Amino acid sequence: MLNNLIDWSVKNRLLVVLALVGMIAAAALYIPKLNLDAFPDVTNIQVSINTEAPGLASEEVEQLITFPIEAVMYALPDVEEVRSISKTGLSGITVVFKEGTDIYFARQLVFERLQSAKELIPDGVGTPEIGPNTSGLGQVYQYYLRAEKGSGIDIMALRSLNDWVVKLILMPVDGITDVLSFGGQVKQYQVNLNPSRLL
């Protein structure tokens, strides 16, 4: 078999050379159009829902936030799986849809259902938000800010530094969709009125 192929190739040298030139030309045309990634995206269609709940233990986050949202999301059409993780002060839910579902349609379904789920969550506990439109490989890098001992910089100052400096530096970088802040204490300005002085 192999000898016959070699004999045929030797007898038809011109045809073999033309076929080789044709394949090289086709490759030169199509290779620049290929999407090449260091890690090809093999993840399924998924929408993430994140809720920050400062001050709540993981058990409270699970009971007050994660469970009500999960219960509502299971009723969506074409849902394969609903995964969740409840940490201290943070609820993360991932709704996985069947292959072939349009991601924007899936996000719309989750957004609509999330409005009814918000009614099941007690006031002041946390507001669920849909995560950015990225794949499961999207969260690539985690970092933390730390102050030197004795510097006098507290965790509130570090959170403000992250929100107003580091995040603004990272966001314009090509390929970064979002920078999520978690932890620390968010700086607040509160106005407390003395009702007796208002008269």
Alpha-carbon span 66 to 13, nearest angstrom: 69
Quote the distance between the C-alpha of residue 48 and its chain's center.
6
Q: Residue 99 sits in which domain range? A: 45-130
Q: Are residues 77 and 99 in the same domain?
A: yes
Query: Is 135 inside a domain boundary?
Result: no
Assess whether 66 and 11 both reside in one domain: no
Q: Is residue 123 part of a domain?
A: yes
Q: How many structural domains are present in the chain?
A: 3
What are the pLDDT digits (tens) for 176-187? 877 878 777 888
Helix or strand run (H / E) with residue 155: helix 155-161
pLDDT band at 53 (very low <50, low <70, confident <90, very high): confident
Residue-wise pLDDT for 90-128, tens only, equals: 899 999 999 989 999 999 999 999 988 888 888 888 889
Residues 7 and 71 in one domain: no
What CATH number corresponds to the domain at position 64?
3.30.70.1430
- Domain assignment present for residue 197? The answer is no
Q: Which two tokens stand for residue 147?
A: 């102050």
Answer whether 131's CB lies under 8 Å from 179's CB.
no
Indicate whether 38 pLDDT > 60.
no
